[in-house]
Amino acid sequence: MKEVKHSKGLKIAVVFFAFNRPDKLKNTIKSYLSCFNAQTDDIFVYIDGPRNLKERVLTNECFQVSSELISQATIISREDNLGLKHSIHGGISDVLKQYEAVIVIEDDLKLEPEFYNYMRTGLIKYDGNEKVYQISGYNYNPEEGTDAFFLPIITSWGWATWRSRWKGFDLTTNYQSLLMTKSDKKRYNFGGSFNFSRMISLEYSGKISSWAIRWYSYVYSYNGLTLYPPQSLVVNDGFNDGGTHSSYTSSELFSSANSYATSNIDYPDVVQLCEFKVRSLQKHFRKRLNRKILGYIKSLLKRVFHVK
């Protein structure tokens, strides 16, 4: 595995995760290649193994798409189906054995042109500050302004982290001790605005599968923070599959965000929780305009945390 030192000596890898959606993967890779200053080396593609013969055709197509669009990438096409949780954790862990930071992109995302610049800038700026566990390209509740900010919750739609933050994360630790009291549970549930505690409980019981809720629990256990952009630099294209919520993609919840040049995004010099943004997002999650809106918010968070 070739190592290339990027700006300020930080070795950054870009990792795509795919499975059985070659058309989605093609669009995602093309949107990445359209990003300003996107790196074209140190790229990896992990393709999870098929569960049947039909999926083998599709995973082979994912391999072809990757080979054609980013021929310089290292492509890992698995024989066995690991499932998203183990594919993500295993792939990132493998890459971070030789790289200091990783940008993670799944196969149903459309990236705004400023995505890579933002990720790279955030990784370099906060490399030495171990309060920051993640750089998020997605914004749950975009509002006017140019200031990036910190929140205590994570996302999985276009994000980045460092070896030093990821190294202690596993898929077996039980985080129930974080939820011993009502106040603990309220804080874990982002001020009581969303029931993350039920999500982790269902994950423990095997009723759902979500690596992201475990990653959130790990980050939460260290009081870690995530950097968010002022506007979303990621759109999840998975909502356009004709599913229950696809008609809502043009709404405020899933809308494509404005793209900003690097000079127009202000990165905070002081690493601390943005209380105003916390209150704003909590209010957004608590909205009870009608049952339909609430359902969309729940669906959004389940998708972000990869509830299967």
Across the chain, mean pLDDT equals: 87
The SS3 of residue 185 is: helix
Output the pTM of the full model: 0.87
Residue 2: inside a domain: no
pLDDT given for residue 130 in this prediction: 96
Cα diameter, the chain = 53
Q: Are 172 and 265 in contact (CB under 8 A)?
A: no
Residue 178: inside a domain: yes
**Whole-angstrom Cα distance, residue 41 to residue 230?**
28
Q: Are 245 and 299 in contact (CB under 8 A)?
A: yes
Alpha-carbon separation of residue 102 from 110, 123, 166, 233, 277 (angstroms): 18, 9, 10, 17, 26
Residue 92: inside a domain: yes
223 Cα distance to chain centroid: 18
- Count of domains for the chain: 1
Give the residue, 5 or 210, on which the prediction is more confident: 210
Residue 238: inside a domain: yes
**Whole-angstrom Cα distance, residue 171 to residue 84?**
12
User: Quick check: 293 pLDDT over 70?
Assistant: no
∠ at Cα 264 (263, 269), nearest 5°?
A: 80
Give me the mean pLDDT over the 255-259 stretch.
44
pLDDT digits (tens, 9 = 90+) for 19-33: 999 999 999 999 999
User: Quick check: 262 pLDDT over 70?
Assistant: no
Give me the mean pLDDT over the 126-144 stretch.
94
pLDDT given for residue 252 in this prediction: 35
Residue 154: inside a domain: yes
Residue 1: inside a domain: no
* Span between the terminal Cα atoms of the chain, in Å: 32
pLDDT band for 174, please (50, 70, 90 cuts). Answer: very high
Domain that holds residue 157: 7-304
pLDDT given for residue 236 in this prediction: 87
User: Quick check: 245 pLDDT over 50?
Assistant: no
Which residues are 14's β-sheet partners? 43, 103
pLDDT digits (tens, 9 = 90+) for 88-122: 999 999 999 999 999 999 999 999 999 999 999 99
Query: Does an H or E element contain 102, and which?
Result: strand 101-106
Q: What is the DSSP letter of 288?
A: -
User: Quick check: 241 pLDDT over 80?
Assistant: no
Q: What is the DSSP letter of 75?
A: E
Give me the mean pLDDT over the 76-91 stretch.
96
Give me the CATH number covering residue 233.
3.90.550.10
**Whole-angstrom Cα distance, residue 257 to residue 239?**
15
User: Quick check: 132 pLDDT over 70?
Assistant: yes
Give the residue, 2 or 131, on which the prediction is more confident: 131
Lowest mean pLDDT among 184-193, 242-251, 254-263: 242-251
Residue 111: inside a domain: yes
pLDDT given for residue 288 in this prediction: 47
